[in-house]
Structure formats: C-alpha cells, structure tokens
Amino acid sequence: MVGRPEHGSTEWYDAFRVQSMAALRRARDAAYGEGEHIGQESFMRAGEILALARAADVTPGSLVLDLCCGTGGPALYLARKTGCRVVGVDLSAQGIRLAASTARAAGLTRRVHFLVADGLRLPLAAAFDVVLLLETFLAFEDKAALLHEVAGVLCPGGRFAFTLEEGRPLSREERARMPGGDGIWLVPEDEFLPLLRSSCFRVRQLEDCTAAHADMAGRLAMMYARHQRAIAASVGASLCDETIAADVRWAELLHTRRVRKLAIVTERAA
Ligand SMILES: C[S@@+](CC[C@H](N)C(=O)[O-])C[C@H]1O[C@@H](n2cnc3c(N)ncnc32)[C@H](O)[C@@H]1O
C-alpha cells in the first residue's frame, strides 16, 4: 500500500477491522456495556438501534435496507430481534465479506443479504419498506444526492431512519485537528430540514442523542486506550493512536455541542 489510509475511509476500515478484530472486540464489549455491543461501528448502543428501527415500524414483514452497513452487526441484530428481512450495502468489499460470513455462522442467510455497492449508485429496485443509515451521513458531502437515491429505493410511504451529524461545516483548523477530518461533512439543522422536505420526506420523529453519543465516544476512547497494547500489536501504534485521538476529539465536539447528533425518522410521501 502507498502511504497510510485516511482515518475513517473505506480503506482505513479494511485495514483496521481485519487486523485487530479480537483486540477491538474486547475493547468495544467493555465500552458499550452488557448486551449493547452487537458488532456496530458507531456511537449507538444496541438499544438505540432497535428503538430507531421500531420507530420506523420495522416488523417481521418488513424489507429493510441497511445503507453503509459496515460489517453487518446492526443488520444481523435487527433481523434476529424483529424477524425482518435485511439487505446490507457497503462500499467496503472487506466489510461485506465479514458481514456475509457472520450471517452464515448465525444461520441468517435466508433473511439477510449483503452486497458491495456505492450508496449513491444503488443497484436496487423501489422495494424497501425502511432504509436505515446509521452513523454515516457525515461521509456524504452531497446530502441531496443521497436523499434522492434513498427515495428511489423506498416504497411509497416507506420510512428513512438515520442519525445525522448536525452543525456548521468544520473549519480548516478543525479539520486539521480531527483524524480523517477532510471526509467529515456536517450540515446545520436549518439547512437539512428544508432539504428533507423538498426531497419529499416528512419528519415523524427527531431526537437529540448528543449527550449519549458524547458519553459513548469518551468510553470508546478510554477502552481503546486500556487495550492499546493489544490493538497496536495488530494494527500498529500510529493507527491505534489515531483512533483514540479521533474518539477523544468526537467526545469534545459532542460534549461542547459544537456538533449535535440527531436520530431522525422520516416518511416518504406516497
Ligand atoms: C462508521 S461505519 C458505520 C457502519 C455501520 N452503519 C454501523 O453502524 O456499524 C461507515 C461505513 O460506511 C461505509 N461507506 C462510506 N461511504 C460509503 C458509500 N458512498 N457507499 C457505501 N458505503 C459507504 C464505509 O465503508 C463504512 O463501512
């Protein structure tokens, strides 16, 4: 590989996930707490993921798209908990391989499928009752294009449920201080809500989860630091240090409410 991958990029996830699985799992189990770590790569506890899905009316009959599904933890968890069918999509071939092998091991391959695709070019028909986008809106600079793509795969009346990183765009200085800062695209609420409306989405529920996510970012940084030696032994000291620094910085941004986290459930106009 030429140079190190940018923190938070698909290439970074590929390197970090595969090489440090066992060490990471121990740190994350400790950070999320009993029963709350289900393979998610985010600041959401399992209970929050389930609550968001339920608020979007995910039921045993639902067909759900988990956009930017990572290694498939939330998709498999929701299939198990609610009985729904899920398609998970991610740009990372490595993430999708891991997700598919976990689905096979869990005996869930009849209800959960994974495929490699770009969220802005989905090779899918308008068949989904619910689309979920967990902790990844920040990766999309063009939010209108993503909303257009999501609307295109939802049934009329279908729901789009997601978390949003809300706030003014990071300044050049803030980007420089944040590992992977150049790939973070915040949006102010007063710009985003009109965009939702003009994309034919009606807001059903909006909750501020900034405090819970600030706490989680801090806990992850603390547990990565506690397991630093084992994580660094698999991925190298600099990748490990960068990951801790990123979560410390997220904790600061969220604690000070420079960035807010919103959990939003919307409905596509019929
Ligand atoms: C923070 S992880 C979140 C994973 C998952 N949603 C979860 O909660 O565990 C972000 C994921 O988004 C994926 N991603 C980023 N941009 C993407 C795009 N344009 N299309 C599809 N996946 C993308 C990355 O590869 C990565 O797996």
pLDDT digits 0-9 by tens, 69-80 = 999 999 999 999
How far is Cα 95 from Cα 99, in angstroms, rounded to an integer? 6
pLDDT tens for each residue of 15-35:
766 656 788 888 999 999 999
Half-sphere exposure of 172 (CA within 13 A, CB side): 0
Ligand 1 centroid–CA 90 distance in Å is 6
Q: Mean pLDDT over all residues of the chain?
A: 94
Q: What is the pLDDT of residue 1?
A: 43
Average confidence (pLDDT) over 250-256? 98
Half-sphere exposure of 128 (CA within 13 A, CB side): 27
How would you label 65-94 residue by residue, b for 16+ Cβ within 10 Å and e otherwise?
bbbbbbbbbbbbbbbeebebbbbbbbbbeb
Residue 91 Cβ < 6 Å to ligand 1: yes
Q: What is the pLDDT of residue 84?
A: 98
How far is Cα 52 from Cα 54, in angstroms, rounded to an integer? 5
Nearest Cα residue to atom 26 of ligand 1: 70
Residue 102 has pLDDT above 80, yes or no: yes
Average confidence (pLDDT) over 130-146? 98
Where do the structural domains in the chain lie, given as residue ranges? Answer: 10-268
Q: What is the pLDDT of residue 178?
A: 93
Out of 6, 10, 147, 162, mutate this one to test ligand 1's pocket (max ligand atoms within 8 Å of CB): namely: 10
Which atom number of ligand 1 is nearest to the Cα of residue 40?
9
Average confidence (pLDDT) over 121-135? 98
Q: What is the pLDDT of residue 6?
A: 83
Residue 155 has pLDDT above 80, yes or no: yes
- Model confidence pTM above 0.85: yes
Q: What is the pLDDT of residue 233?
A: 86
Ligand 1 centroid–CA 68 distance in Å is 4
12-21, 96-105, 194-203, 252-261: lowest mean pLDDT where?
A: 12-21
How far is Cα 103 from Cα 27, in angstroms, rounded to an integer? 23
Residue 163 Cβ < 6 Å to ligand 1: no
Residue 195 Cβ < 6 Å to ligand 1: no
CATH topology of domain 10-268: Rossmann fold (3.40.50)
Of 93, 89, 86, 127, the residue nearest 110 (C-alpha): 86
